[in-house]
Amino acid sequence: MRSRMDDVKSYAPSAVVGQVMMGAVVAEVMESRNPKFKAGDTVTARQGWQLYSVSDGRDMAVMDPSAAPLPWYLGLLGGGGTTAWVGLFDIGKAKAGETVVVSAASGSVGSVVGQLAKLHGCRVVGIAGGPEKCGYCVDDLGFDACIDYKANGMLANLQAATPKGVDVYFDNVGGEILDAVLTRMNPHSRIPLCGTISQYDKTEPYGIRNFRSFLVNRILLQDFVMTDYREEGQRAQPWLLQAVKDGKLKYRVSVAEGLAAAPEAFLGMLKGRNFGKQVVKLS
Amino acid sequence: MRSRMDDVKSYAPSAVVGQVMMGAVVAEVMESRNPKFKAGDTVTARQGWQLYSVSDGRDMAVMDPSAAPLPWYLGLLGGGGTTAWVGLFDIGKAKAGETVVVSAASGSVGSVVGQLAKLHGCRVVGIAGGPEKCGYCVDDLGFDACIDYKANGMLANLQAATPKGVDVYFDNVGGEILDAVLTRMNPHSRIPLCGTISQYDKTEPYGIRNFRSFLVNRILLQDFVMTDYREEGQRAQPWLLQAVKDGKLKYRVSVAEGLAAAPEAFLGMLKGRNFGKQVVKLS
């Protein structure tokens, strides 16, 4: 969504001023002439920032509102969960015993990455902003360690937390934090690059200085967006749903109330003021 | 070899002061108790910067001195050629009709990359230092264009030479040139990273500012050293030898005379004073 707000080339087309902002929603079907949906169905869809909308049924799916809290379908059981899965396993090729580092660790994607990696037998180190988020990652999600990037000594703390180096760095933020983690990457390590949130609002991007680590360590860097990995995502979804039903995965959501609160909630998310997945309750 | 001269972690161990500097050689067997080799054989080996040496036969292979000029076995028919092949095809997945850009284009690896890509049906744009090297790439090697990175307007020239963007960037140099090419990469493009020669002598590395292109374009970046791709390299070698015999590949060599000239030749290579593959004729 943030990329759509810039008038520059990106993987998603730019938003058009005066038109509805794109975004995923959980919604209730009010009326349907599509045999796949009936009034009262709870669905996930991409209807954007609006209270009511008309759909041809594309990108819309009925879901089970009793299986998990509704907002989870926008994160853990939606794009966030499949993004975590694809990045960690299909691109990152994480193996049991390896060290996985994830940035924006308490967030919608990062929190799932860390939990999946722990279930897979990896050592997991999060990077998050502030003691509250770091505490959540370790105490609630079971990460082995979490580095507060806002505190002093970030690099020393990262070194201490990754005594065997880093095999997979699931990066959501780019910039200075990526540069720091590059100093810890092992030979043949992998970096699934999911976002560069630290750079979106910068007019002058941060320059990655430790680029040579890519050469020295023969790192694979692969950036990905889920539209390129629909099949892999569809494989992950039933597994994630079952894991939720089995109580194996936790998830935290920040809820803003009302459509009018959406812009402020969005800006807050970019600044890390939210905790976990940020959603807006439209009505 | 340059990496070995730093006391830092890299894919090759550091050179030890007082011991022979590592390096590939073409040599003549003077005496042998190894049944695989006999006196008079011409061999390729990794005997380093010295006139005479003893070998257990490891990493040594008999070659045909009549098939090509001897120095070619240190480049086009040695590590340079297989590096070009693996980077272009196994990692870069270059396809006919795509645009391939290669830096250090007139050099030992780059000149082979460009010629292989042309034979494969790609549009090939080189990046080299000065009009002489650029002219060689276009007039002698058949590249579609070559950008002089020492001239003004490098980025504008690169844009003009890549009207359909860049699908594979075979990078030998890193730094500012990589940053410029990142602005031209297509969605799902690939960057085999073979070297960062522009950065080896810098105490303060250049910061890559256009890193976000990796995300926006879902670029694959894969750094590689040939020791990880022995099989692929062995597949390439007979093809390269046949192509040389068929007159399909050109190669240029700079020769320094005598062991004492080796250090100066090495420094000159790092500064781009050589033209094509730099070798030292030991005796």
A160 in any annotated domain: yes
How does pLDDT run across B111-134, given as a tens digit for each residue? 999 999 999 999 999 999 999 999
The token pair at B109 is 């690896």
A174 in any annotated domain: yes
Q: Strand pairing partners for B208?
A: A208
Domain range spanning residue B18?
3-67+238-281
Is residue A10 less than 8 Å (CB to CB) from chain B?
Answer: yes
The bridge status of strand B185-193 relative to strand A25-28 is: unpaired
- Domain count across chain B: 2
Contact A215 B174 (CB under 8 A): yes
A239 in any annotated domain: no
Nearest-CA distance from A223 to chain B in Å? 4
The answer to whether residues A138 and A274 belong to one domain is no
Contact B174 A212 (CB under 8 A): yes
B232 in any annotated domain: no
pLDDT of residue B202: 78
Measured CA to CA, the distance from residue A265 to residue A59 in angstroms comes to 25
The answer to whether residues A200 and A146 belong to one domain is yes
Measured CA to CA, the distance from residue A241 to residue B144 in angstroms comes to 53
Backbone phi and psi for residue A108, each to the nearest 5 degrees, phi listed first: -55, -45
- Counting residues of chain A whose pLDDT is more than 70, the rounded percentage is 100
Dihedral angle sign, alpha carbons of residues A95, A100, A106, A110: negative
Mean pLDDT value across residues B49-63: 94
**Cα A157 to Cα A126, A146, B53, distances in angstroms:** 11, 9, 48
From the list A199, A214, A218, the residue facing B212 with the nearest CB is A199
Nearest-CA distance from A192 to chain B in Å? 10
- Counting residues of chain B whose pLDDT is more than 90, the rounded percentage is 78
How does pLDDT run across A94-138, given as a tens digit for each residue? 999 999 999 999 999 999 999 999 999 999 999 999 999 999 999
Structure confidence at residue B84 as a pLDDT band (50, 70, 90) = very high
Structure confidence at residue B161 as a pLDDT band (50, 70, 90) = very high
Please state the three-class secondary structure of chain A as a single string.
CCHHHCCCCCCCCCCCCCCCCCCCEEEECCCCCCCCCCCCCEEEECCCCCCCCCCCCCCCEECCCCCCCHHHHHCCCCHHHHHHHHHHHHHCCCCCCCEEEEECCCCCCHHHHHHHHHHCCCEEEEEECCHHHHHHHHHHCCCCEEEECCCCCHHHHHHHHCCCCEEEEEECCCHHHHHHHHCCEEEEEEEEECCCHHHCCCCCCCCECCCHHHHHCCCEEEECCHHHHHHHHHHHHHHHHHHHHCCCCCCCEEEEECHHHHHHHHHHHHCCCCCCEEEEECC
Contact B208 A212 (CB under 8 A): no
- Counting residues of chain A whose pLDDT is more than 90, the rounded percentage is 79
| pLDDT over 80 at B12, yes or no | no
Mean pLDDT value across residues B12-29: 90
A 73-92 → B contacts, CB under 8 A: none
Nearest-CA distance from A263 to chain B in Å? 23
The answer to whether residues A190 and A125 belong to one domain is yes
pLDDT of residue B195: 83
Mean pLDDT value across residues B54-82: 94
The answer to whether residues A113 and A168 belong to one domain is yes
**Confidence check on the interface: ipTM exceeds 0.85, yes or no:** no
The token pair at B89 is 């095809």
The answer to whether residues B83 and B223 belong to one domain is yes
Structure confidence at residue A181 as a pLDDT band (50, 70, 90) = very high
The answer to whether residues A214 and A133 belong to one domain is yes
How does pLDDT run across A39-93, given as a tens digit for each residue? 999 999 999 999 999 999 998 999 999 999 999 999 999 999 999 999 999 999 9
Looking up residue B51, the CATH number of its domain turns out to be: 3.90.180.10
Task: Answer for the pair B221, A220: CB distance below 8 angstroms, yes or no.
Answer: yes
Backbone phi and psi for residue B214, each to the nearest 5 degrees, phi listed first: -60, -40
Measured CA to CA, the distance from residue A49 to residue A224 in angstroms comes to 25
Mean pLDDT value across residues B97-120: 97
- Counting residues of chain B whose pLDDT is more than 70, the rounded percentage is 100
**Considering all CA atoms of chain A, what is the largest pairwise distance in Å, rounded to the nearest integer?**
60
Q: How far apart are the first and last CA of chain B?
A: 21
Task: Answer for the pair B219, A11: CB distance below 8 angstroms, yes or no.
Answer: no
The answer to whether residues A141 and A171 belong to one domain is yes
Q: Which of B221, B222, B225 to mutate to test the interface with A (most CBs of A within 10 A)?
A: B221
A242 in any annotated domain: no
Q: Which of B41, B34, B38 is nearest to B56 (CA)?
A: B34
Is residue B206 less than 8 Å (CB to CB) from chain A?
Answer: yes
Is residue A203 less than 8 Å (CB to CB) from chain B?
Answer: no
pLDDT of residue A197: 80
**Residue A178 with chain B: CB contacts under 8 Å:** 211
The answer to whether residues A34 and A105 belong to one domain is no
Measured CA to CA, the distance from residue B242 to residue B27 in angstroms comes to 22
The answer to whether residues B159 and B26 belong to one domain is no
| pLDDT over 80 at B108, yes or no | yes
Nearest CA in chain A to B209: A207
Nearest CA in chain B to A204: B209
Looking up residue B104, the CATH number of its domain turns out to be: 3.40.50.720
Is residue B199 less than 8 Å (CB to CB) from chain A?
Answer: yes
Q: How many CB atoms lie within 10 A of CB B17?
A: 5
pLDDT of residue A198: 79
Nearest CA in chain B to A178: B211
| pLDDT over 80 at A8, yes or no | no
How does pLDDT run across A12-37, given as a tens digit for each residue? 788 889 899 999 999 999 999 999 99
| pLDDT over 90 at B272, yes or no | no
**Residue A217 with chain B: CB contacts under 8 Å:** 11, 223
The answer to whether residues B91 and B184 belong to one domain is yes
From the list A10, A212, A216, the residue facing B216 with the nearest CB is A10
pLDDT of residue B139: 97
B169: left (phi over 0), alpha (psi -120 to 50) or beta: beta
The answer to whether residues B220 and B244 belong to one domain is no
The position carrying tokens 């005479």 is B52
The answer to whether residues A112 and A184 belong to one domain is yes
Highest mean pLDDT among A3-12, A175-184, A207-216, B203-212: A175-184
**Cα A117 to Cα A122, A160, B164, distances in angstroms:** 5, 20, 40
